[in-house]
């Protein structure tokens, strides 16, 4: 089985990914595959939903700033020579993960920094591929 593309899903809201970057890089470098990284900021979406449910305005700058901060952190975790594609999304995990999965069409899926805070069973079943956990 050739592994040419890897989709790495990182839970940066609940886990400390900096401690695991060595393990993540070891796995990715072992396959010499291209890497796409997905981070879904569900908490920002929840704040937006709560604000709108109370009829309060939601500042779009907060969403934009959260995406920029997460992307900045990601760019400093991975070496430049890896040419990693970053996907930082605000929304429901299953929806965003499924959309990026279809776009990337990876051969392997990795999940890191999860600390079992995200229920990935629905997403895993929809892809039909096993997900390797790195914690």
pLDDT tens digits in sequence order for the chain, 135 residues long? 688 999 999 887 766 677 888 998 998 888 888 999 999 888 888 888 888 888 888 778 888 988 999 899 999 999 999 989 999 998 888 889 899 999 999 999 998 876 555 667 777 778 887 788 887
User: What is the model's pLDDT at position 61?
Assistant: 85
Question: Cβ neighbours of residue 47 under 8 Å, at least 6 residues apart?
Answer: 58, 62
Instruction: Assign residue 85 the CATH number of its domain.
Output: 3.40.50.620
Asked if residues 8 and 36 have their Cβ atoms less than 8 Å apart, the reply is: yes
Q: How far is CA 88 from CA 7, 12, 32, 34, 96, in A?
A: 13, 10, 23, 17, 9
Angle at CA of residue 10, ends 60 and 16, nearest 5°: 95
Round to whole Å and give the CA distance between 47 and 122: 23
User: What is the model's pLDDT at position 101?
Assistant: 94
Number of domains in the chain: 1
User: What is the model's pLDDT at position 119?
Assistant: 67
Using a CB cutoff of 8 Å and minimum separation of 24, what contacts does 124-130 make?
126/94, 126/98, 127/101
Which domain covers residue 49, as residue numbers?
5-134
Count the neighbouring beta carbons within 10 Å of the beta carbon of residue 71.
15
């Amino acid at each position: 089985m050739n592994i040419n593309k890897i989709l790495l899903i990182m839970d940066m809201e609940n886990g400390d990914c900096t401690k695991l970057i060595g393990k993540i890089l070891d796995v990715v470098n072992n396959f010499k595959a291209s890497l796409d990284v997905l981070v879904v900021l569900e908490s920002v979406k929840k704040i937006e939903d709560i604000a709108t449910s109370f009829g309060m305005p939601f500042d779009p700058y907060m969403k934009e700033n959260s995406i920029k901060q997460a992307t900045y952190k990601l760019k400093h975790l991975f070496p430049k020579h890896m040419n990693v594609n970053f996907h930082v999304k605000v929304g429901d995990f299953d929806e965003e993960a499924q959309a990026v999965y279809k776009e990337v069409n990876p051969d392997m899926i990795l999940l890191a920094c999860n600390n079992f805070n995200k229920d990935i069973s629905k997403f895993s079943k929809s892809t039909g591929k096993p997900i390797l956990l790195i914690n």
